[in-house]
Amino acid sequence: MSDFSTEFRMPKGCPNCGSHMMKVSQAKSPDDQVFCTSCNTEVCSWEEAERILDETPRSEAEQLIEDVMNNKKPPEEDY
Ligand SMILES: [Zn+2]
């Protein structure tokens, strides 16, 4: 096990606990395993995680902005 791992958020949650926070070795080799940070379940390989991240249409930042906007304003103005 490497001491150097990096955490990232994955759109697909952990099959065991549903957490989206994952960790992978800093080397990020395609065959490195991605683990859930909460329960340490092996979720997939880094190669697969990268594919999932690539296929996700919206970035996390965009989603956060949208959530903030939805909380502040109603989706339709209702005058
Ligand atoms: Zn988990």
Ion ligand 1 neighbours, Cβ < 5 Å: 14, 16-17, 19, 36, 38-39, 41
Please report the pLDDT score of residue 34 as a whole number: 97
Name residue, tokens 């329960």: 39
The alpha carbon of 36 and the centre of ligand 1 are apart by a number of angstroms equal to 5
The dihedral sign for the CA sequence 41, 52, 11, 32: positive
Is the pLDDT assigned to residue 21 strictly greater than 90? yes
The alpha carbon of 41 and the centre of ligand 1 are apart by a number of angstroms equal to 5
Please report the pLDDT score of residue 2 as a whole number: 45
pLDDT one-digit tens code per residue, 25-73: 999 999 999 999 999 999 999 999 999 998 877 666 666 677 777 776 6
